[in-house]
Amino acid sequence: MLVRVGNKKKWFTASWLEGSAVHMIDQRLLLFRFKIVALKTHKETAEAIRNMTVRGAGSIGAAAAFACAQAVLECRQKDWPKKALKGFERIANTRPTARDLFFAIERIKRAVDGKTLKEAKELAVQEAKIISREYQVRGKRIGEHGSKLLKHRARVLTHCNAGWLALHDWGSALAPIYIAKRQRKKVFVFVDETRPRLQGAKLTAWELANEGIEHAIIADNAAGFFMQHNEIDLCVVGADRIANNGDVANKIGTYEKAVLARENGVPFYVAAPTSTFDFNCRSGKHIPIEERSEQEVLLVTGYCRGLHNVRIAPKKSKALNPAFDVTPAKYIKGIITEHGIIKPKRSSIKKLARKCRK
């Protein structure tokens, strides 16, 4: 997407490969500072995925593909393919809930399996760049299908960040809003702040402001209030993994929004590319949930003559910090994919899986 940097607008994706180095926007610094980091090894890129320099399902997938390509490029004849496989394992251990991470690793593995080192280096880079371009295409198609749900002057609730920063270019949950704007529809977005990392207040709001889309940041606990007062027409969120029965893992707090939406008669949609579906996962009960550091809950990062972490809880207090929750399929009106809007049920997802295998 176009981003204003200084006095100029430039086109960026969340990450890209130049030679053997992965370049990415450091999302931890937004909205306070726009910085591109260059990661020279697969270990550095894996750490960037783990520490959320890059985050969001599709962007994690693209970064993982680039990291796998780096792992292959770093091999010498005497340690091929053992060293690459060890690198793939390191990348796989960074974010356990994100299905796109494993989707990308599996794609690179298949591309290089049984190949000579020379062939593998060429094919790994080629496949990683293909995966990156696919995310761009998928995001736009999700936007085109999802925009049909948005009437002129629609009022939409989002949770976390599922824009171009999270899906490499167009996004998932925000893509329909971006396409609707280009169709000259006016859309107002209620942006959940999304504790504890505030991806809504920082990243989604930053994206929407950059696009000139009217929005307001709301406290996570305020969503029910606005639904109850008939001020929200529909909810659209992203996903980190979707089971084959339609259960969806997404940023912590998504489940609460879905329950509130059902209670108040507000349609609740999930937007995700097919790479986020785990066709071998029977239900949300089988999705691993990442536990992150308690410091994300106990501290808040702000800007005052530089970035600072400020403690907001008693020193003796501990915190629990599950990064995701699972929304049962019964609360979901539909899932917006690059192939169209499907029902969150096994039969629909089985048909989708067949399309993906062609």
Tens digits of residue pLDDT in 120-143: 999 999 999 999 999 999 999 999
* Residue 358: pLDDT over 70: no
Burial class from Cβ neighbours inside 10 Å (0-12, 13-18, 19+) for residue 346 reads: middle
| Backbone φ/ψ region at 168: left (φ over 0), alpha (ψ -120 to 50), beta | left
* 3-class secondary-structure state, position 52: coil
* 3-class secondary-structure state, position 29: coil
Q: DSSP strand E in 19-128: where?
A: 21-25, 36-39
Cβ neighbors of 77 (< 8 A, separation 6 or more) are: 117
Choose the catalytic residue: 100, 240, 278, 325.
Answer: 240
- Do residues 25 and 36 touch, judged by C-beta distance below 8 A? yes
Domain 2-140, CATH number (from 1.10.287.130, 1.20.120.420, 3.60.150.10, 1.50.10.20): 1.20.120.420
pLDDT class of 310 with cuts at 50, 70, 90: very high
Q: Is the peptide bond before 314 cis (omega within 30 degrees of 0)?
A: no
Over residues 145-162, the mean pLDDT reads 97
Q: What kind of fold does domain 144-289+321-357 have according to CATH?
A: Rossmann fold (3.40.50)
Domain boundaries, the chain: 2-140, 144-289+321-357
Over residues 256-262, the mean pLDDT reads 98
> What is the predicted pLDDT for the residue at 10?
78
- Do residues 45 and 63 touch, judged by C-beta distance below 8 A? yes
Over residues 64-77, the mean pLDDT reads 97
In tens, the pLDDT along 31-40 reads 888 999 999 9
> What is the predicted pLDDT for the residue at 5?
67
Tell me if residue 240 is catalytic.
yes
